[in-house]
Amino acid sequence: MNVVPFFEWLDASWLASFSKTYAGLFSMVQAVHILSMVMLVGMIILGDLRMLNIVLRGVPSDVILRNTKKWIYIGLVGIILSGIYESSAIAMKLAYNSFFWAKMAGLAMGIVFMLSLRSAVYSRAPEVIASTGPKTDAVEPWVVKLVALTSLFIWFSVAANGRWIGFS
């Protein structure tokens, strides 16, 4: 599939002419992008560190995970909207930038992983991790920890690749 025409279309769009014109607004959107990352990844880190029993051990994990959910979605919306705005200003650079594509692959993987495996495994965490009482369908602790490490790794790669777009 050739995606270059899409970036050519984005580069010629009214959004691109707008985002390329106002440098001050662009830097504000960049700040929103970073702050959305803090909200999204910060909340994911909290959940993952909790499931690794590194922070808040003994505090019922379902309470923590339930509370992070809303902020993860707000962060995700913020990061995608500000990201589309930013990408319009440098569309032709991104079309050929491997860090951008690695970031997009990581982002897609991160979202799918979070909604499928991560949530399924975390809800079946054994008592030694979850502290929510015995379950009949509990998985082994190492499975939960592997999922937590994978989640941390995926989101780290998204953020690191994103930062490196600016250097490339």
Partner 1 sequence: MLNELLFKFATWLDGFQASTNLHEALYAYGWVEGTHVLTLTLFLGMLLVIDLRLLGVAFKELPASTLMERLDKPMMIGFVVMIISGVLLYFAIPVRSTQSIWFRIKVVLLIAAGINALLIRNMTRSTNLTWDRDPIPPKRIRVGAGLSLSLWILVVVCGRNMAYDWWDCHKEMPYFMYWAAGCVNELAAFE
Tracing tokens 């965490």 back to the chain, one arrives at 125
CA distance 34 to 37: 5
Site of interaction with partner 1 (CB under 8 A): 23-24, 27-28, 30-31, 34-35, 37-39, 41-43, 45-46, 49, 54-56, 59, 63-64, 67, 70-71, 156, 159-160, 163-164, 167
Closest CB to partner 1 among residues 38, 104: 38
Closest CA to 56 of 47, 44, 67: 47
Closest CB to partner 1 among residues 64, 148: 64
Minimal distance, residue 152 CB to partner 1, in Å: 10
Minimal distance, residue 155 CB to partner 1, in Å: 8
CA distance 11 to 15: 8
Minimal distance, residue 16 CB to partner 1, in Å: 19
CA atoms within 13 A on the CB side of 63: 8
